[in-house]
Chains A and B, each alone.
Chain A
Amino acid sequence: MIAELGHFALILALLTAVIQGSLPMLGAARGRADWMAVAQPAAILQVVLVALSFAALTYVYVVSDFTVINVVENSHSAKPMLYKVTGVWGNHEGSMLLWILILALFGSMVALFGGNLPPSLKARVLGVQAWIGIGFLLFTLLTSNPFLRVFPAPPDGRDLNPLLQDPGLAFHPPLLYAGYVGFSMAFSFAIAALIEGKLDAAWARWVRPWTLLAWAFLTAGIALGSWWAYYELGWGGWWFWDPVENVSFMPWLLGTALLHSAIVVEKRDALKVWTVLLAILTFSLSLMGTFIVRSGLLTSVHAFATDPERGFFILVLLLITIGGSLLLFALRAPVLKPGGLFSPISREGGMVINNLFLAAACATVFLGTLYPLFLEAVNGSKVSVGPPFFNATFVPLMVPLIFLMALGPLMPWKRADLAGVFSRLKLAGLGAVIAAGITLYLEQGGPILAVAAMGLVGWLFVASLVEWSDRIKLFRAPLGDSWRRARNLPRSAHGMTLAHAGMAVAAAGMIGASVWNLEEVRNLQPGESMEVAGYSYRLDGVEQLEGPNYLADRASLTVTRDGEEIAVLTPEKRLYPVQNMPTTEAGIHTTWVSDLYAVIGDSDGRGGWTVRIFHEPLVPWIWLGSLLMVLGGFVSLSDRRLRIGAPNRQAKAKAAPEPESGPGGHPAAAE
């Protein structure tokens, strides 16, 4: 009964979306205010219906209703409650429903808080949102209905893939989807602006917070997924350039570009056409991210099971959305008036360079990810593009980007003086030398490129702080004065500093993890130990335990350094009997400078166990840096000027670029 209600609510949501996608659009074209007004209640009704449907699916999971196929295939009565709930989106059908729910939530927020949007723009934005909704609702109802029944009902379910029964992965999909779907807002606004033929600073004021929100969620989602792969797969790696990772990374790269170019639209009324294109491309890549792995087009190390019948629907959906919006762009973009002028050496120029590098980096990832597909279509040969390709293309593009990232925030709008910028970066230069020096000392030489890379990261980190401390006159004015200045500084300035510094921290982690990690495999008898990177790992023993729905061999390894006990690691090898599937749980101890990481393999049958130890320098910094970036995103979002739904009414009237002169004669930086 409940499942049928959920199904019914979903069908009603589709009908609502059809109304929301047609009447307000027509109303906006004909200037009928009453038709446009339909959009708002429709969007709210939409979210209520989808939420009902989602609640129904959650309910059948919680009570383990094994008359529903989806529950049978992805749940089990002995599964812990947390994973019963997260199992709702741990499968294809449920995750589509989650996608639609988030989309409807975003739409309802425009409906509720968009009171100060021009009525025609609001109607069109909600209309475009509804179009996206129609595509997804049709897809779900026609090919991926989660509410189908099975008769006779089996006594118990087949359980959720044990790899997904993990707190890290439980919240990875919702975050990732909130990011993907968040970019639909920028997309809807871009399409609406193209139809409208008008794009001004008020538009950018709306697009920016949504993009920022989506970006922060996507950053968190990617980081969480990477963290999960790190501790759950037991391979000691945190990023594999696997297609499924790449497709989530591409929208992140373009979304980061969009985040920056939207600032230029808002502040300087320039780069409008480019920003619209970025918004379209970012969301297109998000759609690909949702679909391409599931459609079975690409084999992936951790793909869900695939179904070619869905693939066709997906391809048509992608073609209509991406092709249609690009066609609209080609036809309507010339209508948008070009905006303010700027010199190549200026804040705007910096943003252009930022955008070029991010777009180029995205293009290399795109090529590397889709090239095998392309080649197979052309001559049938099967190749795979592995990490070496991405290391040779993506990484070199990041080097100039990180170098220039230090300069951008120090440059004023319109025209900047490069010599002045560099003179303010003396301290950052010193930071670079110190970071390289420390690396050189600790690693006794180390690969020279890696030492230089650490220097580059030090440069960015200090430069991010320099810009911030200049603005609050840290150590140049009394501390109380600096504190007052810091409190008056726009939140977005703090946010930018956090995000840029976070990028530096994360980059340091990535360099450290890829250059200086050590790996050693040994067969140990209980009592024996092995030495890795100055730490000694002693296998104390292996015991068998029983979890709620699994059996495990848990090893106990005592880690000592110079005779002093550091930690006890307890890596496990689990067997989930329902799916007859073994999984690995790594034992990790972090010193915050490096991770001590242990995995156990098989017993040799004579009391010995295969033990694999990884020494992972700086890996914790990757998560720390990502956290700083996400935090930066949310701090920026809390900026009064950016508060969702409250764009500056005055600025809306006219797209007047604000005069910029910051404290202390420095041009106001950091937006």
Chain B
Amino acid sequence: MTRKHRRLYILVAALLVFGGAAALVLAALDENLDHFRSPSQLIAEPPPLDRGIRLGGLVEEGTVQRSEDGLSVVFRVTDLSESVAVAYTGILPDLFREGQGVVTTGNLQSDGTFAAREVLAKHDENYMPREVVDALKASGQWHDGEGGHSEGMTQ
């Protein structure tokens, strides 16, 4: 076992392990990405139904409707120019409120509604998801200070 042999062996082992890891990453990146869309984008360019989508925006005022048993909920997510109906079954996060920023993960359905498997509202009530801020800015509906984003927790 000379130094050269050892180096060769380590090199081959490293190539195998890292090559394997790279292959796994490439395969997984293709299938497992959730793409962020605002309601306007979702309506303008509907993505394939099997594509994982993160839909972000504000919960439109007056649209939250709970089912009889209280388990399912339908609401509209808006970027203040377009809105999309979202259906979700389960317990909503503590901070879920009308007018509050949310990010929902799920798929677009063939009838144009959005089936969410996860609904996130941010933990800090002053905090607006960055993606939602960007979506609001894109739709021209963002006004500085609206979300109280940079005040509150920081100086």
CB distance from B40 to the nearest CB of A (A): 14
With contact pairs A382-B131, A383-B33 given, residues A363 and B21 touching in the complex (Cβ less than 8 Å):
yes
CB distance from B6 to the nearest CB of A (A): 6
Cβ–Cβ contact B28 & A352, under 8 A: no
Cβ–Cβ contact B35 & A382, under 8 A: yes
> Within the assembled complex, what's the spacing in Å between the Cα atoms of A388 and B27?
11
**Does A386 interact with chain B (Cβ within 8 Å)?**
yes
**Cβ contacts under 8 Å, A344 to chain B:** 6, 9, 13
> Within the assembled complex, what's the spacing in Å between the Cα atoms of A306 and B131?
14
Which residue of A388, A397, A581 is within 8 Å of B24 (Cβ)?
Answer: A397
Cβ–Cβ contact B153 & A392, under 8 A: no
Cβ–Cβ contact A357 & B17, under 8 A: yes
Stretch touching chain B among A106-114, A295-303, A432-440, A643-651: A295-303
Q: Mark A335-368, 1 if CB is under 8 A from B, else 0.
A: 0001001111000010011001100110110011
Cβ–Cβ contact A386 & B34, under 8 A: yes
Cβ–Cβ contact A583 & B94, under 8 A: yes
Cβ–Cβ contact B124 & A305, under 8 A: yes
**Does B80 interact with chain A (Cβ within 8 Å)?**
no
Q: In chain A, residues 64-80, which have Cβ atoms closer than 8 Å to a Cβ of chain B? A: 69, 73
Cβ–Cβ contact B24 & A305, under 8 A: no
With contact pairs A599-B91, A604-B70 given, residues A305 and B152 touching in the complex (Cβ less than 8 Å):
yes
Closest to A388 in B: B32
With contact pairs A397-B21, A583-B94 given, residues A91 and B35 touching in the complex (Cβ less than 8 Å):
no
**Cβ contacts under 8 Å, B2 to chain A:** 341
**Does B142 interact with chain A (Cβ within 8 Å)?**
no
Cβ–Cβ contact B25 & A604, under 8 A: no
With contact pairs A521-B89, A581-B125 given, residues A356 and B71 touching in the complex (Cβ less than 8 Å):
no
A-B pairs, 7 with minimum CB distance: A305-B153, A382-B36, A392-B28, A604-B70, A360-B21, A601-B91, A388-B32
Which residue of B10, B32, B95, B130 is within 8 Å of A582 (Cβ)?
Answer: B95
> Within the assembled complex, what's the spacing in Å between the Cα atoms of A361 and B24?
11
Q: In chain B, residues 71-115, which have Cβ atoms closer than 8 Å to a Cβ of chain A? A: 71, 89-92, 94-95, 105
> Within the assembled complex, what's the spacing in Å between the Cα atoms of A388 and B153?
33
Cβ–Cβ contact B34 & A384, under 8 A: yes
With contact pairs A92-B154, A581-B125, A610-B71 given, residues A389 and B33 touching in the complex (Cβ less than 8 Å):
yes
Q: Mark B114-126, 1 if CB is under 8 A from A, else 0.
A: 0000001001111
Q: Mark A374-411, 1 if CB is under 8 A from B, else 0.
A: 00000001111110110011001100000000000000
**Cβ contacts under 8 Å, A352 to chain B:** 10, 13
Q: In chain A, residues 452-469, which have Cβ atoms closer than 8 Å to a Cβ of chain B? A: none
Cβ–Cβ contact B70 & A602, under 8 A: yes
**Cβ contacts under 8 Å, B150 to chain A:** 305, 307
Which residue of B28, B123, B127 is within 8 Å of A388 (Cβ)?
Answer: B28
CB distance from B66 to the nearest CB of A (A): 7
> Within the assembled complex, what's the spacing in Å between the Cα atoms of A503 and B79?
46
Cβ–Cβ contact B54 & A388, under 8 A: no
